[in-house]
Amino acid sequence: MIRTKILLAASSALALSACGDANLGSPFYQEAGAFIDEGAFGNPTMNNTQIQNGDKSFAESLNARFAEAVPTMVNFAFDSATLDGDARAVLMEQANFIRQFPEARFRVFGHTDAVGSDAYNKQLGLRRARAVVNFLASQGVSRSRLEAMVSFGETRPLIVTGDRERRNRRTVTQVSGFVKNHPTVLNGKYASIIWREYVGSATEATPDSGGGLTAIASQS
């Protein structure tokens, strides 16, 4: 009987020890502040403060957000400025984002691979940028907010090679600034855009036949 009690106690101690080892990495079992903050806490406040005191450009912030939300780049076939199905799908995503920010201007940069002369590739890159601008305009984006004035030609490859490279045959869309004298230009008042998006994405709840609520997407 005594031997049985000793074995049970030993088993319990081993189980507790194993449980303790499994929880060593949990903040619950360590003193407050033992885990280093990863940097996310306080970032929204810091971002607004930097924009309002001029340490950070809102265009820069919006461009980073644009790059996180949608693909900013489309690719082309060799010696072509024609948009294929994949490119059009990406540009429809871009257009959906751009329409949410009528105060922002966007610039499209055209690129090529290294095959061909510098002069020809510069013109080809510009044709690609203009093709993107035309498509975005067809999706309801005002041409006054789009620029296809700059072509880097073959001078900024993603993949450094003298051969044909599809990844280098691309356009990149970026935020370039704001429409002059637009009534909703923010001057650092970032919350108003967040509020506008929040309202635009809201859903309306209506009673269903069972007495519950059914969400209906807002029409905007």
Asked whether residue 74 is assigned to any structural domain, the reply reads yes
pLDDT at residue 155 in the model: 85
Asked whether residue 194 is assigned to any structural domain, the reply reads yes
pLDDT tens-digit profile of 176-220? 888 765 555 555 555 566 566 666 666 666 666 555 555 554 444
Q: Buried b / exposed e across 88-98, counting CB within 10 Å, b at 16+?
A: eebbeebbebb
How many separate domains does the chain show? 1
More confident residue, 200 or 26: 200
pLDDT tens-digit profile of 76-122? 999 999 999 999 999 999 999 999 988 889 999 999 999 999 999 99
Return the CATH number at 153.
3.30.1330.60
Asked whether residue 35 is assigned to any structural domain, the reply reads no
Question: Would you place residue 25 in the very low, low, confident or very high pLDDT band (cuts 50, 70, 90)?
Answer: low
Question: Would you place residue 68 in the very low, low, confident or very high pLDDT band (cuts 50, 70, 90)?
Answer: very high
Cβ(82)–Cβ(127) below 8 Å: no
Asked whether residue 1 is assigned to any structural domain, the reply reads no
Given a cut of 50, is residue 40 above it in pLDDT? yes
- For 27, other C-beta atoms within 10 Å of its C-beta total 11
Question: Would you place residue 133 in the very low, low, confident or very high pLDDT band (cuts 50, 70, 90)?
Answer: very high
Given a cut of 70, is residue 4 above it in pLDDT? no
Q: Where does residue 39 fall: left (phi above 0), alpha (psi -120 to 50 degrees), or beta otherwise?
A: left
Mean pLDDT of 1-14: 50
Asked whether residue 184 is assigned to any structural domain, the reply reads yes
Asked whether residue 132 is assigned to any structural domain, the reply reads yes
Asked whether residue 61 is assigned to any structural domain, the reply reads yes
Asked whether residue 190 is assigned to any structural domain, the reply reads yes
Segments forming the whole domain that contains residue 151: 51-199
Given a cut of 50, is residue 7 above it in pLDDT? no
Cβ(180)–Cβ(166) below 8 Å: no
